[in-house]
Structure 1
């Protein structure tokens, strides 16, 4: 069996994923507060709100603190002359080999949260699907994009 890839994504990825999950966790909190307000005005049991509050707290602990750390530990990649080796997953670890000859184009993208931490994601497109290496340092993502593009071009010229 092949060894896991050696390269890791940027450590700042954990902060970016925590911030993103924290922003999404605002919605369950708003719904919980709304349920408590409705329970007060409509005179029904507060136990529904308490149950939803417990569920919201568990969701926040998992998505904001636990999952970003696990995701960062599992995300790895490695670039070879003939292929790109990607590993990711929290509970189920997926290892993917993308042959250079199948690469059609390579993009970098950056949203507001990634920009705040100086990160970019690299997207590798083939005819069948798209693969992403998230949260690389901007300069590293650009250099990797150019390197993959050159390697893919060389492979296609050989055909």
Structure 2
């Protein structure tokens, strides 16, 4: 095997250069600060529903199933986890999620970051946007929030920005609709 002269470049030797990593900056805008309270109330509602199922099952159903008022130790362990886990979720998730959730629309793309355990960043060119939808659940209306869903010509699915101020969401829908309506083609 022959050795290439040291003054030859990787390209001249037929070797691939390692790709230079370009750091993607985080999106510029955070979601509404009211999102923290909204997520906390949503988690509390889910916890109450869970507790409303778990506690009666533990108190009334398990003694009948085991034909003994003294339940096995593991049923008590499951009960404790079922009571504590929603509390931990309620206390940690909203603040962590607020720190992570960000969005930005530039003249060429929409960029989002979401999650709190698994964090997902998405960038989609505006030329690929097909539809822009805004949604508000009943609880979101109470907090003056809305979510925006941008459907693109992508196998990864739509991009969602949760918990924007209602006015920001309406302005963003109008802006994205104008931009995508002005572009030619079918966004595929």
| TM-score (norm: length of structure 2) | 0.76
Q: Where does residue 91 of structure 2 map in the other structure? A: 65
Q: Where does residue 16 of structure 1 map in the other structure? A: 38
The alignment covers a number of residue pairs equal to 158
Q: Where does residue 61 of structure 2 map in the other structure? A: 38
Contact 1:75 1:89 in 2 (8 A): yes
Paired with 2:184 and 2:130, the residues of 1 have a C-alpha distance of 10
SS of the residue aligned with 2:116?
A: coil
Q: How much has 1:116 moved relative to structure 2? A: 0.8
| Moved segments of 4+, more than 4 Å | none
Q: Where does residue 176 of structure 2 map in the other structure? A: 148
Larger relative helix fraction: 1
Structure 1 gap ranges (5+)? none
Greater Cα shift, 9-18 or 55-64: 55-64
Greater Cα shift, 39-48 or 120-129: 39-48
SS of the residue aligned with 2:124?
A: strand
Contact 1:122 1:141 in 2 (8 A): yes
Structure 2 gap ranges (5+)? 1-22
Among 85, 92, 114, the alignment partner of 2:111 is: 85
Q: Where does residue 27 of structure 1 map in the other structure? A: 49
Task: State the structure with bigger RCO (CA 8 A, min sep 6), 1 or 2.
Answer: 1
Q: How much has 1:28 moved relative to structure 2? A: 2.8
Contact 1:74 1:93 in 2 (8 A): yes
| TM-score (norm: length of structure 1) | 0.89
Q: How much has 1:100 moved relative to structure 2? A: 0.4
Q: CA RMSD in A?
A: 2.0
SS of the residue aligned with 2:184?
A: helix
State which structure, 1 or 2, has the greater radius of gyration over its C-alpha atoms: 2
Q: How much has 1:130 moved relative to structure 2? A: 1.2
Q: After superposition, give the CA deviation of every residue in 1:38-90 in whole Å (9 maximum; x if it has no partner).
A: 34553143434421231123321232121121111100001101100111122
Among 118, 130, 150, the alignment partner of 2:158 is: 130
